[in-house]
Amino acid sequence: MIEVKKLVKRFGMKAVLRGVDFQVEPGEFVALLGPNGAGKTTFLRILSSLSRPSMGLVKVAGFALPAHSASVRQRLGVVSHMPLLYGDLTAEENLQFYGRIYNIPALNERISEVLDMVGLATRRRDMVRTFSRGMQQRLAIGRAVLHDPDVMLFDEPYTGLDQDASEMLDGVLKNVAAVGRTVVMTSHDLARAEELATRFDILSRGVIAASATHAELGNSNLLTFYKQALAG
């Protein structure tokens, strides 16, 4: 589903990603971990076609980037730590807007469905400005699944959420992934990552330092695995 070979990304002369190799099969839920500045956000931006690779091969859902970015975007749902929502519009209007841009048919029914899934049906006609951070994140996920993407990218979705909101987000994420979607999520929250993901990749200093599936991790702690990967 996602194929990355020798990806290099430079900003001017500074190399942030230095030869990343990354493969994801359909249905996998990969937690991309790593210290700040490792390049996780940059990597996700390249996968989501928001940023162009300096060198290397990137393919998402069978389409090469940056050549076929429009096709990739049709099949991609992105949630970043910014909500990407318009405060002065209602939840419904926000979804209507994105629905029109993605040219989704039977939009109103779809919106009802999505709002139900993220638990915001009762706040349909309220302005997003009045939403708490947790509610905004949930609506953001709703926006991201609106067009039924095959691949979902989450960049630190738990940022700024309290305990209750985080638990709600867990539920929504499990829901979203359960339909066989391919998910890549970056996070600093190792416990959550361990619970949700099927595979863990550590990005350090611009390359994938280590990778292990849940099964391979076995009895050992994700934290020790993480620390070992960074040290090595």
Partner 1 sequence: MSPQPRVLKVLNVLSALLVLVAFLMAMFYAPLEKVMGEVQRVFYFHVATAWVGMLGFIAAAVVAVIFLRTQDLKWDVIGLAAVEISLVFFLVAIVLGSIWARPAWGTWWTWEPRLTTAAILEMVYLAYLLLRQGIEDPDRRARFGAVYTLLGGLSVPLTFISIRIFRTIHPVVIGGGGSEKMGMTGSMVATMLFSIAVFSIVFVTLFWHRIRLGQFSDKVEQLKLKVTQ
Partner 2 sequence: MDKLPLTTLRTPFTNQRPQSNYLRAVLAIAWKDLAAELRSRELLSSMLVFSLLVILIFYFALELDVKAREGITAGALWVTFAFAGTLGLNRSMAVEKDRGCLDGLLLAPVDRSAIYFGKAISNLAFMLIVEAVVLPVYSVMYNINLFNLGLIGVTLLGSVGYIAVGTLLAAMSVQTRTRDVLLPILLFPLVIPVLVAAVKASSGFLLALEMSEILPWLNILIVYDVIFIAVAFMVFDYVVEE
Using CA atoms, how far apart are residues 118 and 44, in angstroms rounded to an integer?
A: 23
Q: Does 13 bind partner 1 (CB under 8 A)?
A: yes
Residue 53 or 225 having the CB closest to partner 2: 53
Tell the smallest beta-carbon distance from residue 205 to partner 1 (Å).
Answer: 9
Using CA atoms, how far apart are residues 125 and 108, in angstroms rounded to an integer?
A: 13
Tell the smallest beta-carbon distance from residue 80 to partner 2 (Å).
Answer: 7
Q: Does 70 bind partner 1 (CB under 8 A)?
A: no
* DSSP H helices in the chain: 40-47, 69-74, 91-101, 107-117, 133-145, 163-178, 190-196, 214-217, 222-231
Type of residue found at 175: N
Tell the smallest beta-carbon distance from residue 69 to partner 2 (Å).
Answer: 8
Selected from 41, 54, 74, 112, the binder of partner 2 by CB under 8 A is: 74
Residue showing tokens 């949700």: 196
Site string for partner 2, 48-67 (x = CB under 8 A): xxxxx---------------
Using CA atoms, how far apart are residues 19 and 9, in angstroms rounded to an integer?
A: 8
Residue 65 or 140 having the CB closest to partner 1: 65
Q: Which stretch binds partner 2 (CB under 8 A): 23-31, 33-41, 118-126, 190-198?
A: 118-126
Q: Does 35 bind partner 1 (CB under 8 A)?
A: no
Question: What is the SS3 assignment for 106-170?
Answer: CHHHHHHHHHHHCCCHHHCCCEHHHCCHHHHHHHHHHHHHCCCCCEEEEECCCCCCCHHHHHHHH
Q: Does 41 bind partner 2 (CB under 8 A)?
A: no
Selected from 21, 93, 126, 194, the binder of partner 2 by CB under 8 A is: 93
CB 33 within 8 A of CB 200: yes
Q: In terms of DSSP bridges, do strands 207-213 and 199-204 run parallel, antiparallel, or are they unpaired?
A: antiparallel
DSSP state of 94: H
Selected from 3, 5, 7, 11, the binder of partner 1 by CB under 8 A is: 11
The residue ranges that bind partner 2 (CB under 8 A) are 45, 48-52, 70-71, 73-76, 78, 80, 82-89, 93, 97-98, 100-106, 110, 113-114, 116-122, 127, 143, 145, 147-148, 164, 168, 171-172, 175-176, 178-179
The residue ranges that bind partner 1 (CB under 8 A) are 11-14
